[in-house]
Every structure is written in C-alpha cells, then in structure tokens.
Amino acid sequence: MIIHRKIKPFHTDERGELSHLLADEEPITSAVLITSKKGSVRANHYHKKDTHHVYMIKGSMKYTYKDVNNKTGKKRTIIMKAGEVVTSPPLTIHAMKFLEDSVFLALTTEPRSSKQYEKDTVRVKLI
C-alpha cells in the first residue's frame, strides 16, 4: 500500500523546525540524493524485497504506481511536491516523471549496491 504524506514539523522554535521524514519504519540501509531534469522519467520498475521512501526536497513529479499482483487494477498517480514523502512497498510498480528540475532523497530498506539492487529490481514499462 502506497503511503503519501506532507511532512509537517513536530517542533518549532527560534532556531527552526524538526520534522520526522520516517517514524517507526524498518531500518534504512541506503540514502541516495538524486537530481532529475524536467521531463525526465525514472524507475519504471518494482522491487521484490525493497521498500523505498522518496522525500521531495525541491521540484515536483508525477508518481505513478500499480500493485504487481493486481493484473486488472488501474495505475494511480500522485503529484508530489517539495516537503512530501511517498513510500513504495515491495511488489509495487512505480515510475516518476519530473514536472520541473527536481531533487529528492531515496531511502531504501535493502542495500543499494549495483549488484544487489539489480537482483531485487524487475524492470517494466508503466509510463
């Protein structure tokens, strides 16, 4: 099940704000900062084991997803903006199309080394 939410501060004072990107989630094994040009597409895949948490730092994207096990299910789209996070569990096909130059943080529950990442990734054409 996709989880999409706007990040809000849990504490604010004269120094600034504190916000939880993730709370009580499974351990994160990788954090990758990714930049994307307007109009570019990323992902078009799903993961067998990995859960991805994507936090938009700057820009916006069309995040399209579909459950791999629901053959007749419709694909759904979320417009993500800066300050929002989306969580994609295993077996969720996902793709991202960037509406402007963007920067996001990808936090994963499985190692992100090339060999391990490719072993867990199944490429498909969603968008």
**pLDDT of 34-81, one tens digit each?**
999 999 999 999 999 999 999 999 999 999 999 999 888 899 999 999
Domain extents for the chain?
A: 3-123
- Alpha-carbon dihedral sign for residues 76, 90, 93, 117: positive
In the beta sheet, which residues pair with residue 89?
none
Query: Which numeric CATH code is attached to 3-123?
Result: 2.60.120.10
Does residue 111 carry a pLDDT above 90?
no
Nearest to 69 by CA among 96, 48, 43: 48
Q: What is the pTM of this model?
A: 0.90
Whole-angstrom distance, CA of residue 25 vs CA of residue 51: 10
Q: 78-112 as b/e, with b when 16 or more CB fall inside 10 Å?
A: eebeeebbbbbbeebbbbbbbeeebebebbbbbee
